[in-house]
Structure 1
Amino acid sequence: MNDEMSAYDVVVVGGGPSGATAAADLARGGKKVLLLDKAGRIKPCGGAIPPRTLKDFDVPESLLVARARSARIVAPSDRSVDMPIEDNFVGMVDREIFDEWLRERAVRVGADRRDGTYLRIERDPDGMAVVAFRPKGADETERVRARCVIGADGANSQVARQEIPAPPAPYVFAYHEIVEAPAGMAGETYDGRRCDIYYQGAFSPDFYAWVFPHGSTASVGTGSAQKGFGLREAVAGLRMKTGLAGCRTLRSEGAPLPLKPLRRWENGRDVIVTGDAAGVVAPASGEGIYYAMACGRMTAAAVDSFLETGDARALKLARKRFLKAHGRVFFILRIMQRFWYSTDRRRERFVSLCADPDIQRLTWQSYLEKELVRSDPMAHVRIFFKDLAQLFGVVSPWGRRA
């Protein structure tokens, strides 16, 4: 090995919301950090974030390209339910702009940044990790030493595959197209202040499709775990259905979305994964930005403790703390997805349940506050019995007696 190679406390592989958040936190805390990012990669994402993201991670409101005031849920029968958000909103961001701002913030607080492709982790004779990568536009491999490596390189994480002894997480493959939004902000099929979610087998047999407003643009996408399902064809059909077929396509992206946290996030030595690489995308909803940033922050805290103490057991704290904070929500969402998304008949019942005021209120409170709502136990009891009625066919969808 070259004795002249640079050495860092931490090398973060991947500059999405989780990696960039971890890099910024560690650099802000005085650690020498390298943020290695594969430039130009944009994840397919509806771009929705709860407002608390702005507060929890000091994100300026100027990064919001739209504020959705409601959601419309569309059933297989084309019946729909409107879910207004009382006195609040869902923030929408453009990942191309949002992620770059997060990376630049990490640089502003002290992290070094390199654009390049991660190759592998090697070892010095003394056992220290050596990260090998190919800089953007170069043919030769460069190497840097690291006391710790954070893999934030997505659902197909090479860091996780090489270093973490855990099976990969189940995932859906997502695809979306960013299109120019219609000139009018509101209309029968598109509203720039509303998120539209389609639970229809033609657009996704086991997940959902969406049309999310991004100000002057819109994200039209879908996801499925079913191999061979035509995602591009489904999006084309959705654009036709919603009157967006004639809108100019600005870009398109596709990538897997993991839907279950990995059983293990660290190698017991000096490597840990975070964000999509750790599997922290919410089941059922596919929401990932807030959870990725929360995971990045917890990972940074665990790495900081490891660097200070030299005890690799500290790296286990990231997964433990994340699951303590969000594991129950993920568990419930995973069960919900497995049952309600399995057939169009069940999805019809699921959408009809969404018309219930108790469900709407608790859904928005849980989403916006990022925790299960316990302040109204009777509402949970009412929802429980309504769920049972739907499950056992006591009532037909939309409230009619069976």
Structure 2
Amino acid sequence: MNSDDIYDVVVIGGGPAGATAAQELARQGHSVLLLDREGRIKPCGGAIPPRLIRDFDIPDHMLVAKAQCARMIAPSSKHVDIPIENGFVGMVDRAEFDEWLRERARGAGAVRQSGQFTQLQRDADGTTRVSWQPKGSRTPMSARARSVIGADGARSEVARQGGVPGAEKTRYVFAYHEIVRAPEPAERSADYDGARCDVYYQGRFSPDFYGWVFPHGGTLSVGTGSADKGFSLKGSVARMRKASGLDGLETLRREGAPIPMKPLPRWDNGRDLVLAGDAAGVVAPASGEGIYYAMLGGQLAAQSVHELLTTGDPASLKLARKRFMREHGTVFRVLGIMQWFWYGSEKRRERFVKICEDRDVQQLTFESYMNKKLVRKKPMAHVRIFLKDVGHLLGMARV
């Protein structure tokens, strides 16, 4: 390629959002350049629900484990095991999964380039010039673009340089995890279950979020997050590994990054650029789930760019956020309230885990999670959950 090449779209960032957007646009016949920082892996538990597997055609061989139970652990160490009935939650290793998505985009026709994004500039003819520094080279490279998708993660530099209004207006949880080798059968405690996700709602592991131990087949993801900059995430993970009997296992990778907890108020610059994934702030509060929402956001960003390239109307770029919030905005608002209230103290965390014992809560929560839709078919169950929730809020329910 040379610096005068003009692409219909340059996608900056090759995580689930960027790779999905690149694949979608390439399949529609657009010329696409996918730029990614080689070797960058986001800290992530790696859980993907059945709807993602269905909607984005994820083959079974990409699943390194299939979780069939979630254990919610209270500050008192009391726990609630929630079986995943009639299904499973797929687990992926982000190092392998993200690269597979990028290669799928290349197979659809996208051109791949590896390097660190450096600059957006406007050329005289109105196209945008995207510049980057290739890994291992002192010679910068650039390409021209009719449109740009910024999928470069939280605190997006593409959003800042591209002039997206309000790009700085979001909140972050700082996440950190360690990928450790799973224990051999002889090393496992009687309580170990390689098909169970453990979620710790304990202030010693996070003062405002949660800690996790998620199975990845031959490995485990042990991590936590917090918005408290004075809280030691590495120290928390060390304590969690010890509490879980995993402190003696080999550590294979360590990764950390800011995770957004609120969608940005605007995802486009009104001209030729739209955001997707963490750059747009689409990680679910309370749960921290991001892979499904990133891939959906990438798909919606691709749709909006396709309409821009087809019609020439920059207003098309607003459709990505509008369509996303219409489908998932209510869930994000509810989860944001949940995180603010239930994670606020040890007493509230204890009551939150207690609520999870309820079969109505378990069934409706997992049906909504697995299918990414609010379940409305059982109104009396919602009434019962509301009454029980009020009881716990007012402290009238027994813990």
Deviation at 1:359, TM superposition (A): 0.2
The alignment partner of 2:206 has SS state of coil
1:73 aligns with 2:75: no
**TM-score under structure 2 length normalisation:** 0.98
**What is aligned with 1:174?**
175
1:165 aligns with 2:165: yes
Describe how 1:354-373 pairs up with structure 2 within 5 A.
Answer: 354-373=356-375
Within 5 Å, give how 1:271-310 maps onto structure 2.
271-310=273-312
Deviation (angstroms), 1:241: 0.4
Question: Partner residue of 1:101?
Answer: 100
Question: Whole-Å Cα distance in 2 between the matches of residues 186 and 349 of structure 1?
Answer: 30
CA RMSD of aligned residues (A): 1.3
Offset at 1:228? 1.2
CA offsets 1:104-155 (integer angstroms, 9 cap, x no match): 0000010000000101110111221110111111112211100000000000
Q: Given that residues 3 and 141 in structure 2 are in contact (C-alpha distance below 8 angstroms), is that contact kept between their aligned partners in structure 1? A: no
CA contact (8 A) 1:186 1:193 kept: no
The residue type paired with residue 126 of structure 1 is D
Contact 2:3 2:144 in 1 (8 A): no
> Between Structure 1 and Structure 2, how many residues are aligned?
396
Contact 1:189/1:242 (<8 A) preserved: no
Aligned positions of 1:1-400 closer than 5 A: 5-163=4-162, 164-166=164-166, 167-184=168-185, 187-397=189-399
Output the CA distance in 2 between the equivalents of 1:225 and 1:179. 24
Shift of residue 165 of structure 1? Answer: 1.3
Asked whether the 8 Å contact 1:75–1:198 carries over to 2, the reply is: yes
Distance 1:168 1:145 in 2: 29
- Supply the distance in 2 between the matched residues of 1:4 and 1:158 (Cα, whole angstroms): 21
1:400 corresponds in structure 2 to none
Unpaired segments of 5 or more residues in structure 2? none
- Asked if the contact 2:189/2:245 (under 8 Å) is kept, the reply is no
The TM-score, its normalising length taken from structure 1, stands at 0.97
Q: Distance in 1 between matches of 2:334 and 2:305?
A: 29
- Amino acid paired to 2:30: K
Whether the aligned pair in 2 keeps the contact of 1:120 and 1:131 (CA below 8 Å) is yes
Distance of 1:249 and 1:168 partners within structure 2: 35
8 A Cα contact 1:165 1:267, kept in partner: yes
Distance 1:318 1:24 in 2: 16
Report the Cα distance in structure 2 between the residues aligned to 1:237 and 1:243, rounded to whole angstroms.
10
Q: Does the Cα contact within 8 Å between 2:12 and 2:117 map onto a contact in 1?
A: yes
Question: What secondary structure is seen at the aligned counterpart in 2 of 1:213?
Answer: strand
Residues 67-93 of structure 1, C-alpha deviation per residue, up to 9 Å, x if partnerless?
A: 000100000000000000111101000
Q: Report how far residue 369 of structure 1 moved.
A: 0.7
Find the aligned partners of 1:156 and 1:168 in 2 and give their Cα distance: 10
Percent identical: 61
**What SS does the aligned partner of 1:324 have?**
helix
Answer yes or no: is the 8 Å Cα contact 1:11–1:35 preserved in 2.
Answer: yes
Quote how far apart the aligned CAs of 1:190 are. 2.7
Moved more, 374-383 or 138-147: 138-147
Counterpart CA distance in 2 for 1:57 and 1:370 is: 14
Q: SS at 1:97's partner residue?
A: helix
CA distance in 1, matches of 2:276, 2:53: 20
Q: Which runs of 5+ in 1 are unaligned?
A: 398-402
Output the CA distance in 2 between the equivalents of 1:46 and 1:189: 20
Provide the C-alpha distance between the structure 2 equivalents of 1:283 and 1:13, rounded to a whole number of angstroms.
Answer: 25
